[in-house]
Amino acid sequence: MVRDARRSRQRTTEVIDPATFWELVNGAVRLRPEAFARIEESAGFGVALPIVFVAGVSQAIGQSVVLFVNRVRPARFVFSLAIAALLFVVVYALFTLSVVLVIRNLFGGELTFPSAARIVGVGFAPRMLAFLAFVPFFGIQIDVLLSLWALLTVLTGIALVEGIAPWQALLAALLGGLLLVVVQRIVGRPLAVVTNWLQRSIAGRRLVIEPAEIEELIEAGPEALEAAVTEDLDRADPDEGASPGERSSP
Amino acid sequence: MIAAFFGAALFCLLMAMLLAPLEALGWWAGWYGDDLDEPHDDSPAPYGRRRDPTDARHFVVFLDGIAKGGSDTFDEVQALLDRLDEAYPQVAVLGDIMPYSVTNTELTDHRPLSHFWRFALRQKLDGSNPLIGFSINMRNVFQVLVAADRRYGPLYSRAEAQVILNSLLRSGFRPGSGMYVTLIGYSGGGQIALGSTFALKRFLRAPISLVSLGGVLASDPGLEHLDHLYRLGGSLDPIPTIGRLLFPGRWPLLFNSHWNRLKRRRRITTIAMGPMGHTGPGGYLDAESFLPDGISFLDHTAATIGKILEEIDQRLQPEPGVLQLSEHPGGAEAGS
């Protein structure tokens, strides 16, 4: 239905006002076909991109415990959130590309990258609430529910726009995700190096993210963490990382 | 109007939940200044020192329930501590730790919202506005959730262990000397005490027991470091049941959880307290409610805890003639 509408109508380049923006977001998260049709008809990314960026910031806040555990200072903390949000946008673009490749090659679909980017971006709308993962104890469960909700929204959007069955949309999303992981493993090493460098530069230290390593550091206490990351930075690059003031702290 | 009120209340509740982990996380991250990297002796809430404990080998640390807002101890809690102190002179009873602050800071002082908390505490004590007074309980419940959260809990518990350690050291506890510790956690204080044991065990090098009085307990890794857990619950107290339902590790289905492992090792003892509620009239510490045999709820609770302390003494006191390796790190493990 939506696919036919897409073919028969002229794409609009309307400027999205806040009321329309929230109306479309509201319709998408409620899985209403007409909302996806309107989003798909628009030529721009006025709905999708703000959603993805806000979802990225929100997710970074929800997962910010990693920054606290690594004793990142407040100013660097804010920059780290911004970088995490930008990285989220990059992952979103790569995921969208993977889904397009799967649908075009596996199901012979005509899905274009801009169309998919609009639908997948709007599908991430529930993740705008990902900051709720910060809530103690219930946060992890809330995060899982939001992820499932986002997945459902993306699948519904793709199925409606491309006129494929929901299971095909699910397969496309799963294979798209798998493709993304495989590509990251094979050719993504330089990207990972850049990402790690970026995070380390902004945070001012190597971020300890492995659960076992975090557990050891907590047991040893804050000073041990400070010594460990400082030592690590000294080994990696004597001139890079923490400021002189931070280096002299215990 | 009503919808707006509930909307505002819901928003405040959500904000309070979101801000709840910040004290523990900010402490760990050093955001409150380098001098607060570890909770220290100058923390505003005074450490309780009930009596001269120099001869004691058995140290009892009381962690109060979620109603605690200031450094002052509620009358009924004080009555319990007094009874234990008087009846068991061989035991050093320590109170007045603020379990819901990683820096041992009372709500009513040295905080941005201390004016509000003072107001709330006044409302709670004179009973004029129970809803405002209950905000203290809610705030502290969120701290219990922080302590039970697998992301934040280790940080919170690490700090709380330091607070308890400071209190013990001030009172003459010598780690690894054969002295031993019993934590009494009332209500949410049970989970706070339980979480702290993983770090406390390493600091103290001593057997640690936990008495949970109507406590909300998760299947916490701290259970692995407990010598024994005693759970006291009244038939009219729904709070321990909430803990049992809320924390999946407590469900029998999760056979290999910390909780179920400890249970299989027979290191959890459950004691029925009779028709007692959680707090207030008819609660564990009510001196005006009586069991059929005429003993008050407060006296029965104090006597039950006393018997547990005696049992721990019998289990952990060295036999006459046995050489004590007082300064050896492993010396204190003999009884565990």
pLDDT at B195: 94
pLDDT digits (tens, 9 = 90+) for A186-203: 655 666 666 667 767 776
pLDDT at A164: 85
With b for 16 or more beta-carbon neighbours within 10 A and e for fewer, the B72-109 pattern comes to: bbbebbbbbbebbbeebeebbbbbbbbbbbbbbbbbbe
At residue B97 the predicted structure's pLDDT band, cuts being 50, 70 and 90, is confident
At residue B213 the predicted structure's pLDDT band, cuts being 50, 70 and 90, is very high
User: Looking at chain A, which residue has its C-alpha nearest residue B26?
Assistant: A68
Token pair for residue B93? 């009873």
pLDDT digits (tens, 9 = 90+) for B29-58: 888 765 444 555 555 444 454 555 567 889
Question: How many residues make up chain B in this entry?
Answer: 336
At residue B148 the predicted structure's pLDDT band, cuts being 50, 70 and 90, is very high
pLDDT digits (tens, 9 = 90+) for A65-76: 988 888 888 888
% pLDDT > 70, chain A: 70
Mean pLDDT of the residues in chain B: 86
pLDDT-wise least confident of A239-248, B217-226, B241-250 = A239-248
Q: What are phi and psi of B139, to 5 degrees?
A: -60, -45
Q: State the smallest CA–CA distance between residue A100 and chain B in angstroms.
A: 36
User: Looking at chain A, which residue has its C-alpha nearest residue B36?
Assistant: A222
Q: Is the pLDDT higher at B335 or at B23?
A: B23
Token pair for residue B233? 């619950």
What's the whole-number mean pLDDT along residues B12-37? 83
Written as one string, the DSSP assignment of A121-146 is HHHTGGGGGGGGGGSTTTHHHHHHHH
Q: Is the pLDDT higher at B107 or at A109?
A: B107
Q: Is the pLDDT higher at A7 or at A151?
A: A151
Measured CA to CA, the distance from residue B102 to residue B37 in angstroms comes to: 11
Q: Do B151 and A131 touch (CB under 8 A)?
A: no
Q: Do B199 and A72 touch (CB under 8 A)?
A: no
pLDDT at A9: 47
User: Looking at chain A, which residue has its C-alpha nearest residue B151?
Assistant: A65
Is the model's pLDDT at B193 over the cut of 50?
yes
Mean pLDDT of the residues in chain A: 77
CB contact residues (below 8 A), chain A span 137-166, against chain B: 137-140
% pLDDT > 90, chain A: 22
Q: What is the dihedral of CA A43, A44, A46, A49, to 10 degrees?
A: 120
State which amino acid sits at residue A89: V
pLDDT at B312: 95
Is the model's pLDDT at A224 over the cut of 80?
no
pLDDT at A171: 86
pLDDT digits (tens, 9 = 90+) for A92-105: 998 899 889 888 88
Token pair for residue B218? 């998760």
pLDDT at A71: 84
Token pair for residue B200? 């406390």
pLDDT-wise least confident of A54-58, B122-126, B253-257, B320-324 = B320-324
DSSP, collapsed to helix, strand or coil, labels residue B239 as helix
Q: State the smallest CA–CA distance between residue B144 and chain A in angstroms.
A: 9
pLDDT at B128: 81
Q: Which of B25, B34, B37 is the closest to A68 by Cβ?
A: B25
What's the whole-number mean pLDDT along residues A11-16? 57
CB contact residues (below 8 A), chain B span 56-115, against chain A: none
Question: How many residues make up chain A in this entry?
Answer: 250
Q: What are phi and psi of B296, to 5 degrees?
A: -75, 155
**Cβ neighbours of A186 (radius 10 Å):** 8
What's the whole-number mean pLDDT along residues A157-170? 86
Q: Do B30 and A138 touch (CB under 8 A)?
A: no
Q: What is the ipTM of this complex?
A: 0.82
% pLDDT > 70, chain B: 88
State which amino acid sits at residue B292: P
Residue A85: closest CA among A209, A243, A202, A244: A202
By DSSP bridging, strand B58-63 and strand B208-213 are unpaired
Q: Are B208 and B197 in contact (CB under 8 A)?
A: yes
CA atoms within 13 A on the CB side of B125: 14
Q: Do A74 and B28 touch (CB under 8 A)?
A: no
CA atoms within 13 A on the CB side of A180: 17
**Chain B contacts of A140, Cβ < 8 Å?**
150-151
Interface membership of A223 toward B (CB under 8 Å): yes
What's the whole-number mean pLDDT along residues B222-245? 93
* Three-class DSSP labels, B110-158: CCCCHHHHHHHHHHHHHCCCHHHHHHHHHHHHHHHHHHHCCCCHHHHHH
pLDDT at B141: 95
Measured CA to CA, the distance from residue B75 to residue B52 in angstroms comes to: 22
Token pair for residue A109? 């679909």
What's the whole-number mean pLDDT along residues B151-180? 90
